[in-house]
Amino acid sequence: MKKSILFIGLISFIITSCAVVRPGEVGVKQRFGKLKGSPKTQGVVLLNPFTTILVKIPTRTVNKEVTLNLPSKEGLNVAAKISILYHVKQENAMNIINEVGRNYEKVLILSTFRSASADVCARFYAKDMHSGKRAEIEEAIKLQMAEILKGRGFVIESVLLKSITLPSGLYAAIEAKLRSEQQAQQMEFVLQRERKEAERKRIEAEGIRDAQKIIKEGITESNIEWRSLEVLKEISSSPNAKLIITDGKTPFLINGEE
């Protein structure tokens, strides 16, 4: 019986003396409240359960989603849902626990994000957060966070504006503006088409005018006489009986059968 108790106690001691660091984590031994040794990577870590605990923090990419109201340049509050992608540098894990503690996300990451996002968004209009400047805003927040957290052991990978809810009146104004822009573009297209059609008609009229001018310049007395002689020659060679009256310049044909 005693042997069984001793065996169970030994097994329990061995189990409690082992801690597992999983992939994407780093562990630091804490003995009597003080951090000891270097950070431990994935695997089994042996420790004294009566005096030591293993503090683990993730080094993999963390996706922290935040919902907050952001100020805009015109003084509006824009409801936004934003994701922050970041990770902890393994070599800085001990310093982070010593200087900030295990609650570093709330103490540093979120507070820095709220400050940076409010500062950046206040430089943009509300409509910009819903338009092509969205990526510019995301990048500006990321860079400002990285600058504030520089040297603290964090890497801000990305800031993503997942959803933006604009004030209802602003939605209507944006839609009205888009409709006006579409109507203006359509009108510009119609005007451009009409200008091209007018240009085509002008070129066509110039061509007809030039052709008429050439024809008019070609109709001279000598040309008429020359053409008349050609016609007279063709008629005279015909086997049909005809009566031709001419003054030598312009022939006049009387059909012999009439």
* Helix (H) or strand (E) segment spanning residue 33: none
Helices vs. strands in the chain: H and E counts, helices first: 7, 10
Bridge partner list, 165? 79
How many domains are there within the chain?
3
Domain membership of residue 116 as a residue range? 62-171
151-178: average pLDDT: 77
Of the given ranges (49-63, 70-84, 144-158), which has the lowest mean pLDDT?
Answer: 49-63
Q: Is residue 39 part of a domain?
A: yes
Q: Which whole number is the average pLDDT over 235-242?
A: 62
In a domain, 182, yes or no: no
Q: Say if residue 81 is in the same domain as residue 47.
A: no
Same domain, 86 and 19: no
Q: Which of 171, 202, 235 is the last residue of a domain?
A: 171
Q: Are residues 96 and 165 in the same domain?
A: yes
Q: How far apart are CA 182 and CA 254, in angstroms?
A: 72
End position of a domain, from candidates 41, 56, 71: 56
159 and 134 in one domain?
A: yes
Residues 100 and 131 in one domain: yes
Q: Which of 171, 186, 213 is the last residue of a domain?
A: 171
- Compute the distance between CA of residue 176 and CA of residue 181 in angstroms, rounded to an integer: 9
Please tell me whether residues 165 and 67 are part of one structural domain.
yes
Residues 123 and 29 in one domain: no
In the chain, the amino acid numbered 86 is Y
- Please check whether residues 144 and 107 belong to one and the same domain: yes
| 6 pLDDT higher than 60 | no
Cα distance between residue 70 and residue 126, in whole Å: 9
**Using an 8 Å Cβ cutoff, are 126 and 167 in contact?**
yes
In this structure, the answer to whether residues 84 and 146 fall within a common structural domain is yes
pLDDT, tens only, 122-132: 998 887 887 77
251 has pLDDT over 60:
no
Six token digits for residue 99: 């200087």
pLDDT for the residue 113:
94
Extended beta strands in the chain, E state: 18-21, 25-31, 34-40, 43-46, 52-58, 62-71, 77-88, 154-165, 242-246, 251-255
Distances (CA, A) of 137 to 29, 145, 215: 40, 12, 70
Which residues on neighbouring strands pair with residue 36, listed in sequence order? 29
The CATH number given to whatever domain includes residue 83 is 3.30.479.30
**What is the model's pLDDT at position 170?**
62
Asked whether residue 141 carries a pLDDT value surpassing 90, the answer given is: yes
**Residue 186 domain-assigned?**
no
Question: Which of 44-53, 66-75, 239-248 is modeled with the greatest confidence?
Answer: 66-75
pLDDT, tens only, 82-120: 999 999 888 888 888 888 888 889 999 999 999 999 999
Residue with token string 């312009």: 250
In a domain, 191, yes or no: no
**In this structure, are 160 and 230 located in the same domain?**
no
